[in-house]
Amino acid sequence: MSAVPPVRPDLQLTEGYHSPQVDAEVRLNTNESPFGPPEEWRSEFLDALAEVSFHRYPDRPATELRRAVADQHGVTEDEVFCANGSNEVLQCLMLAFGGPGRRALLFEPTYALHSHISRITGTEVLDGGRDDDFQIDPEHAARLLRAEHPDVVFLCSPNNPTGRAEPPATVEAVLGAAPGLVVVDEAYGQFSPWSALELRGAASPGLVVTRTFSKTWAMAGARLGYLVGDPAVVQACEAVVLPYHLSAQTQLAGLLALRHVPEMEARVARISEERGRVEAALHDLPVDTWPSDANFILFRPRDRDADEVWRSLLEQSVLIRNCANWDGLRGCLRVTIGTPEENDRFLNALKESL
């Protein structure tokens, strides 16, 4: 009689990544865009869907989309790999460059999928840590790299969930000491004052920058991400990804979105302005905050239990991310910047909760 075999021993205690999806009038917990895509994009997309040959497989290498992304960043299409969200991009990188006998270095607290994907691909995870301000010491990072020789290094800039972009000096120090790939996850890169793409060149073939359409492009529902890296990295990802993984409609959605750069940039400016307003309001409350270069803010209540504050907010139909029990983030909460009305609801509810 057939039976369900035991799960791989190294995965038996692994919990899948998730964020609570509960009913709330104001949802500020998953760093989505508070605004939908431009109406012009929506009309163009719906019209173009009528021409899609759904009985045929999509363009396997996503040629047009890769060319458009390459044009956006001033690179060639053989330096671009597209996938179903930046998480699939990260998974392909680890399938190609991680695995048993290989190691990945990251700096906790950081994006949970970096360690999660590393572990499910059989890659050993090393934690370099951060200081009390959630910063990476460049000299410490360089010493660690020279001592441990990891195959892949993850940097998240701006770092999720703490918010700050990694300074250029930090990324340069890691690039200078890393023996393998340096993957800079820029899911919130459009909000940042600088991009690691500025460091790409012949002297840094191991630099890989990942991006997503989920945040600033307001397309979290489309699931589209990409990397910019050396052609050899792209070829490796193409070797491990499943065939026809990127649907025709997803390719189409991304291709049309890239025709609306001014609208995207205006949304980034609008959200950044709201972020400044929310930061200023938080400074008047009994909470500790950290500077943010992203579309969210990390804060810690001083005189109230963070779990109680989170529950009180939810009772007022405001949902934010509870990080209070995460390693390195004890007592912390994270709020996504929403519309002005949503931010007002959050601030008023937080005042009552505190």
How far is the C-alpha of 183 from the C-alpha of 32, rounded, in Å?
Answer: 22
The confidence score (pLDDT) of residue 16 equals: 58
Top-level class of domain 39-259:
alpha beta
Residues in the chain with pLDDT < 50?
A: none
Q: Domain ranges for the chain, please list them.
A: 20-37+262-353, 39-259
The confidence score (pLDDT) of residue 12 equals: 56
CA atoms within a 13 Å half-sphere pointing along the CA-CB vector of 194: 11
| Cα dihedral: 144, 148, 154, 155 (round 10) | 10
DSSP string for 20-65 = -----SEEESS---SSPPPHHHHHHHHHHHTT--TTS---TT-HHH
Give the fold, CATH level 3, of 20-37+262-353.
Answer: Aspartate Aminotransferase, domain 1 (3.90.1150)
The confidence score (pLDDT) of residue 9 equals: 78
The confidence score (pLDDT) of residue 14 equals: 57
